[in-house]
Structure 1
């Protein structure tokens, strides 16, 4: 028993013949008869009977036809409720982000959506390996994820839009001899101690590329994922590191220098399941993320210069 079959039964009671129902619903009489047979199989009592050459409703059929009116009314109300929910401008929107993206984007979003009639944000930090980001779309409306330009693409089960293509720079103490250079090569930095992310996180591929181009194994002394902690370790002389140019907070004792000869750039993407954007509030937050990304990119799109620390969005 489904909505279409109940609708046919209702129309048969009102119009009085299979051919009239077929004409009203713009289908063939045989299609109507088939749906009536399928409906009959699901019930233990006859719903129709012959009255001369016509098929009419039995008393049981009439009772079910009356119930069909109630079913259609309830379904219409349900659809209207869903439409109202989907069109709410101030609905709840859940958003997860890895740490540096959260540091940069979350404050911009909160300021943009302050006040009544705006989406109500539910924010969370999620620092996971790259392959885990798509899984988070089960629990959140939107997920900020990162991957390297040459890394594997996101699965087709999620929709992905790129917000930023962010350069990765070498971070070193402001007084380090290499800070006098405007650009660094893998050979310049390969003999230094290094602070890297844990295995399985995107930036590790760039660190490995530095070692490959320099043709030597890097001395990795610390493993830290949180970039604010990394900046503090670099400032204290704990080693060199890769830091994103736009989403790293400025540290007065850390300098960033561009790196040549390796592809040092990451994508910051927003992931979501396709059905999430049926809601107006989610679409509003998604549009604001793109606007914020443009602001971050245009505010500080130039490479760092000697004597300056990390730039932030």
Structure 2
């Protein structure tokens, strides 16, 4: 399967238009049509309906494979290019907002760092494709268990830290004076779904074995202060690392007592670490908590 044809197909399916795909890819519309026809002939299946332009069942299945396949190709290219290139003096670090603990921030070099705060699922891809030299991801896990990361490419993973988590509530919330809270008692509470800032509700459902934790508000962003402001205003609860919850104004952080889970932070990299990336990784190892 020709990856160039596959990229064209993914673009057409995403945009729902041959002409828009041609503009984005820098091809003529005729060339895009030829790419799709060649891919359909190669696979022996129709991949798109034409009016409207949408994936067929076979095309939808191909899309599920296409993303990881193309990402692995990008990752392989990036790693080979990185190995052949001269070491750079700068460093790009991709991180989730709550992976940037105070200890982690203090470990950063005083100069030469580009910090990109990204959604959780985008950090592994940024490292795999060479957009970032290192990645910091975090999430909810059982003690000593690794995080469940997207299978984007072979990545080196180092566990950096595990810490307690807390439920963040508005100061006047009825549960704000509790010494501790069990996750099972909060299944039907009002929650803020902030998958790229707070600990994702999907992980709460998995940890509790229920289908509860329905969101009252959805926040698609990575700004921790926005999430804590929503909690302070009474829009719902959030689960955060305790260090982040205790710093939020107008809120109360109540320790989560059950189930026994932790906030885990991991460092991601590709290949052998060199230069500034190796130095920072070593410094982060030293500052483990």
- 1:1-313 superposed matches below 5 A: 86=87, 91-102=89-100, 104=102, 107-110=105-108, 113-114=109-110, 120-129=112-121, 132-137=122-127, 138=129, 139-149=131-141, 151-152=147-148, 157-198=154-195, 203-209=200-206, 212=209, 217-224=212-219, 225-226=221-222, 227-248=224-245, 250-275=247-272, 277=273, 279-292=274-287, 294=288, 297=289
Closer/same/farther in 2, CA of residues 205 and 141 from structure 1, 3 Å limit: same
The 1-side partners of 2:139 and 2:183 are apart by: 21
Structure number with bigger Rg: 1
Residue deviations 1:240-266 (CA, integer Å, cap 9, x gap): 111111245712311111223324323
Say if 2:94 and 2:116, in contact at 8 Å, map to a contact too: yes
Say if 2:160 and 2:266, in contact at 8 Å, map to a contact too: yes
Say if 1:101 and 1:247, in contact at 8 Å, map to a contact too: no
Q: CA shift at 1:157, angstroms?
A: 1.0
TM-score (norm 1): 0.54
Residue deviations 1:72-129 (CA, integer Å, cap 9, x gap): xxxxxxxxxx99x55x8xx21211111223474674245xx33xxxx72222222242
User: Equivalent residue of 2:243, what SS?
Assistant: coil
Q: CA shift at 1:153, angstroms?
A: 5.3
Say if 1:209 and 1:262, in contact at 8 Å, map to a contact too: no
User: Equivalent residue of 1:285, what SS?
Assistant: helix
Say if 1:154 and 1:160, in contact at 8 Å, map to a contact too: no
**Matched pairs, number:** 197
Closer/same/farther in 2, CA of residues 106 and 122 from structure 1, 3 Å limit: farther
Residue deviations 1:175-221 (CA, integer Å, cap 9, x gap): 3231221111234323321112249x9622333146646xx733421
Is 97-106 or 175-184 further displaced after alignment? 97-106
Say if 2:194 and 2:227, in contact at 8 Å, map to a contact too: no
The 2-side partners of 1:267 and 1:211 are apart by: 18
Say if 2:168 and 2:245, in contact at 8 Å, map to a contact too: no
User: Equivalent residue of 1:191, what SS?
Assistant: coil
